[in-house]
Amino acid sequence: MKRYIDFVEGIGTWTGKAFAWCILIMTLAITYEVFVSKVFRDPTEWAFDISYIMYGTLFMMAGAYTLSRDGHVRGDVVYRLWKPKTQAAVELVLYFLFFFPGILALMFAGLEYALESWGYTEKSIFSPLGVPIYPFKTIIPVAGTLLFFQGTAEVLRCVICLRTGAWPPRRRDIEEMESILRQQREDENQGAREHGGPVEEPKP
């Protein structure tokens, strides 16, 4: 079971991280566009299309990666007070009620939508260059599929937690600044306490 979770999360994480670099392409492409259009008055024909294609791709493809990091917002006022087992039991039910139906709809409806676009090799209407749009629309079913498999991994996490009473640890990854700093702080305090020294200089 752990191997399946690792495998699925590995794929989701790798894909999310790979497409994350779209932000750099987007930054450089738009900066270039601003430069040539304002300085040489010679705007590019592709910059507008690139900007929303990169933006749409990066956030859609990162849906599963974000889920595997527990990064989607949840109102956890009540949730956080529960024991891990209760959390897992509730979440397990909710995955079947509120996750899979929507994501399956997104996968299959998205597939139909993308196939239709492939059917007439749809081009962007925003530029004379005619940037192809059908690969971009294909992102919808692909992102849906990634989310679906990440969802199965999350369900298995719930099962493990129900059996052992503790959430299986998430893989190590880059954290927000505040979590890193808080962690460092806690480690320092821990270390100081273990060595018997004062945790912090006494208040003056």
Partner 1 sequence: MTDPQVAIFMLGIFIFTILLGFPICFTLIAMGVGFGFYAYYQPEQIFFDNRIFDLLVNQTYSVMANDVLTAVPLFLFMGYIVERANIVDRLFYTLQIAARHLPGSMAVAAMATCALFATATGIVGAVVTLMGLLAFPAMLKARYDTSFSAGVICAGGCLGILIPPSIMLIVYAATAGISVVRLYAGALLPGLMLAGLYMVYVVGRAMLNPKLAPPPDKEATDIPWTTVVVMMLTSFFPLAVLILCVLGAILFGWATPSEAAAVGAFGGLVLAAAYRALTWNRLKEAVYLTVRTSAMVCWLFVGSWTFASVFSYLGGHALIEEFVLGMNMSPLMFLIVAQAIIFLLGWPLEWSEIIIIFVPIFLPMLKFFGVDPLFFGILVALNLQTSFLTPPMAMAPYYLKGVAPPHVELMQIFKGCMPFLSMVLLAMVLLYNFPALTEWLPTLLYGK
161 binds partner 1 (CB under 8 A): no
39 binds partner 1 (CB under 8 A): no
Distance CA 33, CA 19 (A): 21
Distance CA 46, CA 53 (A): 11
73 binds partner 1 (CB under 8 A): yes
113 binds partner 1 (CB under 8 A): yes
Smallest gap from Cβ 191 to partner 1, in A, equals: 13
Among 7, 185, 190, 191, binds partner 1 (CB under 8 A): 185
Contact, 48 vs 126, CB < 8 A? yes
Tokens of 103: 């994501």
Could you say which DSSP state residue 75 is in?
-
With contacts defined by CB under 8 A, name the span among 4-12, 155-163, 164-172, 174-182 that binds partner 1.
174-182
182 binds partner 1 (CB under 8 A): yes
146 binds partner 1 (CB under 8 A): no
Smallest gap from Cβ 164 to partner 1, in A, equals: 20
Q: Which residues is 132 bridged to in the sheet?
A: 123
